[in-house]
Chain A
Amino acid sequence: MSSSTPLLAVDELSVVFRGRGSGEVRAVDGVSFTLEEGRVTGLVGESGCGKSVTSLALMGLLPDRGVEVGGSAVMRLPDGSEDLLKASRRRMRDLRGSQLAMIFQDPLSSLNPVIPIGRQVTEILQRHRGMRGAAARKEAADLLHRVGIPDPTRRLSEYPHQLSGGMRQRALIAMGVACRPRVMIADEPTTALDVTIQAQILELLKDLVTEEGTALLMITHDLGVVAGMCDDINVLYAGRAVETAQRRPLFAAPTHPYTVGLLGSIPRLDSPRGEPLTPVRGSVNDNIAWTDGCAFAPRCDHYTMECLQGPPPLVRLENGDEAEHVHRCVNPIEHAEVVDRTVLDGPAVVGDDEEERR
């Protein structure tokens, strides 16, 4: 890890939604990570773990009312460091697009259907780089060409519905990179795409990171994508990071029972067939509040009474490497146990006990 200050340091980010009449929802509950130039950081987790809310909070895209954002996200900017969470709306509008960019999951609903692609790309060039007319158009065509859209000048006058899913995602990436932002957030960028197209888009994002030195925050539920893309990985559960490590130690020796459970849940193309999967019990709704103990305890096959005594602290693993491996578990899985998979052989039925709790 770099010794100097990181490009973006997110510290104890929390997002609480308060609805009228209903209790508060802690969507993100103290998430910390850093982004570095030329590195890919991954946020992995299932739906409802707070990964998308984290990205929206960083981009300043959460609504004003009913939301409370805490913590800090200090970004190193050309004119000094600044906390993104405290920046004014006007300031954020300047930063978005020029310093920070985001790619969303569904390319069709993130493009304006009644405006040609060309105008949507040149809009950014006008807003942030002050380009006009033919110059902007030429630059837009260049951008589309760079992200691998064939015949870019013709595409400029086409509407989003005339492009295929992969093309639309490429157009969005072109808009994202238009001003060479230093931080790029990709929220499930390939989930809506087919595998062959997904491979193309991931390759494009990888090139972007290595050639431009962009810091990429990759948000996804797909552990396969994470394994191929990310340098550092944060596994989120119920709004908190439960395990953080570089990708090789994380996949080779996961210690948090949730990470182990996730890895046991996915059928792999290269593993022997015929073995049943070892899923995590229950569903994401079976949580307890972090303040009472480990939120994952009700689904964990490994928990003890200790897990229910207050929030588990972050533990740094002593593994002799220079790389950090941190988890939030009082009763972690030893690697030897993972290998023979005896720990997670529990019945995988959701049935009665979940209904009882309602």
Chain B
Amino acid sequence: MSLLQIKDLKVHFPIRRGVLFDRTVGHVQAVDGVSLEIERGSTYGLVGESGCGKTTLGRAVLRLNEITEGEVWFDGRDLAGLPAEEMRRERANLQMVFQDPLGSLDPRQNIGSILMEGLQTHGIGGPSKEDVPEGIGAKELRRLVEEDRRARVVEALEKVGLSAKALKRYPHEFSGGQRQRIGIARALVLRPDLIICDEPVSALDVSIQAQVLNLLEELQDELGLTYLVIAHDLAVVRHVSDVVGVMYLGSLVEEATSDELYAAPAHPYTRSLMSAVPVPDPTVEDTRERILLAGDLPSPANPPSGCRFHTRCPWRQEERCDTERPELRPLHGEQGSGTHRVACHYAERILSGEIRPSAERAERIVHGTG
């Protein structure tokens, strides 16, 4: 059974107007009907451009945003319906690593106290009730708990490549990469099952990015962690993920194993997104075909009818696209291995090359080999 199962999740934010009366004039449909499953011990990558709802989705899993509708099954429990106190306790098993390592660490707490906080909040550490030695005083017990917590914190720090010397230091004394390691250690110290990484490397320099990505993979191998990695960088997501989901305007448009998605992207949005990513190789850059999308992302407060991508889609057809919203469905044909899902009426015919992109809707640029 999968560790995390999201069923038809919706997160809508009300838009309020008015001075005296708080009238709700509409909703921003940040996440609008997403279903996905994450297997234990695997990495699920969620990609999309800014405003597609990927961060909101990640936060909704932890109930940091109120869920409007839908279910979030984690290890056999539906988080969406849990009372606040139970949810708070459950968060010991679901941790998050944030994008901005400096902004997510309290500048006035030293690293020891930052890492200790989670253990204190969840009352983790120290001997279990049965193991408490006979006739021990409250003070003595507190010392045992403190010692055990300290050991756990040091262990987490060592796992991310820092030493116990970091305990007494403050966040500003570390470099960006080290701060992100501390953020990861903070998540690790509770020994969670699932870690949600929201843009874990986008604030870091290239050489440091690679260090942190390698670290995340090593930790997964060692501790059997499950990751939900949210990022805008397709190359990063492909590198770390087993399964990748592509989001556009609040919904998943395509989902497949990492290899399959990048080898044979079926949804027009995935295709254009991938062709837009620059490749650090001049020979490839000069020869490959690039599909330039026209225009910007439509507003999620007023999404287009039918397929939400139809306003920018170079493959758009006269029928169905602007009237009927496509479901996320398994891809048919020999390319589909059963795990490849796509939300496009014409995915198969696009993949086979039967439908060609129209020239007016997108500039296709093929560079000469100059």
Contacts and interface: CB of A to CB of B under 8 A. Distances in A.
Instruction: Indicate whether A and B interact.
Output: yes
A355 B280 CA distance: 33
Q: Chain A contact residues: over half helix, strand or loop, or mixed?
A: helix
A270 B278 CA distance: 11
A269 B208 contact: no
B210 A277 contact: yes
B272 interface: yes
A285 B279 contact: no
A267 B297 CA distance: 26
A269 B163 contact: no
A286 to B, nearest CB: 9
Interface size class of A (residues with CB under 8 A): 35 or more
Given A266-B210, A284-B175, A352-B163, 12 more contacts: A46-B207, A194-B232, A194-B297, A196-B273, A198-B278, A223-B280, A227-B282, A227-B284, A228-B279, A248-B282, A252-B282, A350-B177
A269 B284 CA distance: 11
B205 A355 contact: no
Interface string A38-61: 000000001100000000000000
B45 to A, nearest CB: 12
Contacts, number: 158
Interface in B42-63: 49-50
A349 to B, nearest CB: 4
B213 A267 contact: yes
B165 interface: yes
Nearest to B206: A265
Contact of A196 (B238, B259, B272, B285): B272
B101 to A, nearest CB: 13
A280 interface: yes
Nearest to A258: B207
Tell which of A226, A350, A354 has the most Cβ of chain B within 10 Å.
Answer: A350
Contacts of A226: 280
Given A226-B280, A228-B285, A265-B206, A273 B177 contact: no
Contacts of B283: 248, 251-252
> Among the interface residues B232, B238, B280, which one has the most CB atoms of the partner chain A within 10 A?
B280
A278 interface: yes
Grouping DSSP codes into helix (H, G, I), strand (E, B) and loop, the B interface class, with mixed when no group exceeds half, is: helix
B278 A222 contact: yes
10 contacts: A46-B205, A195-B273, A222-B278, A252-B283, A265-B206, A267-B239, A269-B235, A279-B211, A350-B161, A355-B165
A264 B214 CA distance: 12
B211 A270 contact: no
Interface stretch (B85-93, B288-296, B319-327, B339-347): B288-296
B163 to A, nearest CB: 5
A87 interface: no
Contact of B49 (A194, A224, A267): A194
B208 A270 contact: no
A199 interface: yes
Interface in A210-229: 221-228
A354 B169 CA distance: 14
A324 B163 CA distance: 45
A283 B214 contact: no
Contacts of A166: 296
Nearest to B296: A164
A224 B214 contact: no
A277 to B, nearest CB: 4
B363 interface: yes
Contacts of A348: 210-211, 214-215
Contact of A350 (B181, B213, B280): B181
B238 A351 contact: no
Contacts of A167: 296
B35 interface: no
